Amino acid sequence: MRIGTGYDVHRLTEGRKLILGGVEIPWEKGLLGHSDADVILHAIMDALLGAAALGDIGQHFPDTDPAWEGASSLDLLKRVGAILEENNYIVENIDSTIIAQRPKLASYLPAMRENVARALNLELSQVSIKATTEEGLGFTGSGEGIAAQAVCLLLPLMDLVADDIVNGTPSGCAGCSGCPRS
């Protein structure tokens, strides 16, 4: 198993859409950024890349590159999923937190989880997205910005193979594409 963490912050500003976890949320302000500034997906991507020691999203999708201007962070997340697959990693689980004073996000969290699970071909139970405030303190409390944190566990495919050598291939093995078990 390999663990990764991600952290991101974007400034709230007028005249931008608020997109979190690939969900457009009706709000008077949105997050400023080169892409769609989806702060929770950025934290999740950095956790995934970090767990694999494959750099960060700034390295893979630089904000100086016009190719990523206005990019959908869900599309970038799919690309990160492909990078992990190329490097023979399986995502075990993701946990994450959006830190925002307003708006209330609870009703949007299920759709965000579904978006992340779909982008990475995961079960819904492997993806957790939570939301909290910071009790009016700091830049999230004043509404200047939104922050996000994420952690994840990756399973290197070689670990599965090593387990099989010791324990034998499990009878319930799904034989997922790309897996050396299948």
Query: Which residues of the shown chain bind Mg ion in the complex (CB under 5 A)?
Result: 8, 42
Residue whose Cβ sits closest to Mg ion: 42
Nearer to Mg ion, 57 or 84 (CB): 57
CB of 39 to Mg ion, least distance (A): 6
Structure tokens at 154: 């990756």
Nearer to Mg ion, 37 or 109 (CB): 37
Q: Is 151 left (phi over 0), alpha (psi -120 to 50) or beta?
A: beta
Nearer to Mg ion, 42 or 113 (CB): 42
CB of 76 to Mg ion, least distance (A): 10
Nearer to Mg ion, 8 or 30 (CB): 8
CA dihedral in degrees (17, 101, 118, 95; nearest 10)?
A: 150
CB of 103 to Mg ion, least distance (A): 19
Q: What are phi and psi of 166, to 5 degrees?
A: -80, -45
CB of 79 to Mg ion, least distance (A): 15
Instruction: Give the 3-state secondary structure of residue 142.
Output: coil
Burial of 1 (0-12, 13-18, 19+ CB in 10 A): exposed
Nearer to Mg ion, 9 or 161 (CB): 9
CB of 8 to Mg ion, least distance (A): 4
Burial letters for 60-77: b for 16+ Cβ neighbours within 10 Å, e otherwise? ebeeeeeebeebebbbbb
